[in-house]
Structure 1
Amino acid sequence: MDIVGDSGATGYGVVDPHNGWVAKMRLAMPNTRINNYAHDGAMVSDFLPGGRWPDTTDAVRRIGVDQPSLVFIELGGNEYYIDRDPAQYKANLETLTQNIWQVSPRSTIVYETIWPFDPRQSTSMHSWDEYGAAMQQLAVEYSAGWIDLRQFFPPHYADDTYTHLLNTDQIHPTDAGNVVEYTAVLNIINRC
């Protein structure tokens, strides 16, 4: 299993590194090779040629070497944060998907739409639902898996009861939030 993602998949913000959802997956599945190519601050474009970091631009090649049965793609939060056009996000996500299948054609892709978050510029034009819709459209088009974490992470402002799932930055999940994500991912894997 390979993971392509941003800080949501690196464990950024957890108190105990063992509580990141990917770390929990490794503990729960000790006989499964799990490669995490996530990078804090990453956008889909970082995993394409010309991306900002060597480890992200090399991820697709490494997936080709790994030949994983599953590839989780958890990207979009940073595009939302900077208000990148959702159409460009979708185009980049489609290119990334095709690039992965070109080097690892038997891999099953599972897209992961993260939770909504609010701390953005007041001039931001696009809603989080537009990015989620772009990912959902590709999941349908490619008959890929899709985990929509919005159902598990109510907006932080909706009810104080749920604020324990996100850190004080109101973006990154806490240890408890990572457990929620881990459970959602494990549920999908167990159904395969």
Structure 2
Amino acid sequence: MKLRAKYAAVTLLLAGLTAGIGTVPSAQADTSGKPAWCTGHANVSILGTSADTGYGTTGYPAGRELPAPTPYGWTTKFTNDLHSEWGTKVDNRAHNGAMASDFLPGGRWSDTTSATADMAGSQPDLVVIDLGGNEFLIQKDPAQFAADFAKVIDNVRAARPDATILLSIYAELKWAKTPSSPATQTHTWSEYAAKIHSTAVDKGVALVDLRQYIPPAASATLPSPSPWLSDNMHLNDAGNLAEYGAYWGWASSIASIC
């Protein structure tokens, strides 16, 4: 990317963050006019899937469904660096198999359904939302995913109106039939990615696209070692380190220029 394009991208990102804050009620909004992540680093929340629990990385306990600290899990390294830099507390509500609907009333697990409501107490400055992969695997209607996804963001803002929200498009995993998926693939990952991107634009929030960091699982020219597990759905230690670089690079660089 040319230097001029990089400056333009940063300008657009900050404009998007500020635009998102401009829509919140004045009674609870940050009066400085800056994104919450610019003015405080006390708490961070993560809403995600097995991509965010440490699953697939060295040391992740067999049979576990919730986050676990592993040497190379991106959320572990992210959490440790946030705490080291600012003393930040991280509430990771990721759950293996989670979909956007699981973070709404009627979701399958109490730790996910209570996640956004609990933000009224924790008041996270930054909320990372990494969803969509499991909807792709079961081939859920992308339009329904988009509606659920948007509602999750609305609920985050209801709990913390001026929170800085960072959405993620996961690296391009490869679809395969699972016990909960249909017999054939109808929708591509790019369809769900497009919904995440359009939601980021519509809601005026930030976005990290991991497809820019990690090659598709189906690529014929994967690096060695590959960043993917053999299931082509989850990232291994190397892939998680790339994820960490994307998230930490975003969080630390934005904080440094606010």
TM-score range, shorter chain: over 0.9
Structure 1 equivalent of residue 213 of structure 2: 152
Read off the aligned partner of 1:136 and give its amino acid letter: H
Structure 1 equivalent of residue 146 of structure 2: 90
Pick from 162, 168, 178: which aligns with 2:230? 168
SS of structure 1 residue aligned to 2:148: helix
Q: Is the 8 A contact 2:133 2:170 kept in 1?
A: yes
Structure 1 equivalent of residue 52 of structure 2: 9
Pick from 157, 177, 181: which aligns with 2:239? 177
Q: Is the 8 A contact 2:175 2:185 kept in 1?
A: no
Q: Is the 8 A contact 1:115 1:153 kept in 2?
A: yes
1:33 aligns with 2:94: no
Pick from 127, 132, 135: which aligns with 1:79? 135
Which of 137-146 and 152-161 deviates more? 152-161
Change (3 A) 1:101 1:173: same
Pick from 197, 201, 205: which aligns with 1:140? 201
Q: Give structure 1 stretches of 5+ with no counterpart.
A: none
CA displacement at 1:71 relative to structure 2 = 0.3
1-structure distance, mates of 2:224, 2:102? 32
Task: Return structure 1 stretches of 4+ with deviation > 6 angstroms.
Answer: none
CA displacement at 1:125 relative to structure 2 = 0.8
1:23 aligns with 2:82: no
CA displacement at 1:56 relative to structure 2 = 0.6
Please list the CA deviations of residues 11-34 of structure 1 after superposition, one character each: whole Å capped at 9, or x if unmatched.
101014121111001221221111
Q: Is the 8 A contact 2:225 2:238 kept in 1?
A: no
Change (3 A) 1:157 1:35: same
Read off the aligned partner of 1:157 and give its amino acid letter: A
Change (3 A) 1:129 1:25: same
1:190 aligns with 2:246: no
2-structure distance, mates of 1:62, 1:18? 28
Structure 2 equivalent of residue 108 of structure 1: 164
Change (3 A) 1:77 1:162: farther
Please list the CA deviations of residues 97-151 of structure 1 after superposition, one character each: whole Å capped at 9, or x if unmatched.
0011001111111101101111324611111011111011111111101000011
Read off the aligned partner of 2:79 and give its amino acid letter: R
Q: Is the 8 A contact 1:156 1:162 kept in 2?
A: no
2-structure distance, mates of 1:61, 1:92? 16
SS of structure 2 residue aligned to 1:153: coil
Q: TM-score by structure 1 length? A: 0.96
Read off the aligned partner of 1:14 and give its amino acid letter: T
The count of residues paired between Structure 1 and Structure 2 equals 192
Q: Is the 8 A contact 2:217 2:233 kept in 1?
A: no
| Pairs within 5 Å for 1:37-48 | 37-48=93-104
1-structure distance, mates of 2:151, 2:163? 15
CA displacement at 1:181 relative to structure 2 = 0.4
1-structure distance, mates of 2:224, 2:213? 10
SS of structure 2 residue aligned to 1:170: coil
Please list the CA deviations of residues 138-173 of structure 1 after superposition, one character each: whole Å capped at 9, or x if unmatched.
111111010000112211232142662011111111
Q: Give structure 2 stretches of 5+ with no counterpart.
A: 1-43, 60-69, 178-182
Higher-Rg structure is 2
Pick from 63, 78, 98: which aligns with 2:119? 63
Give me the CA root mean square deviation: 1.3
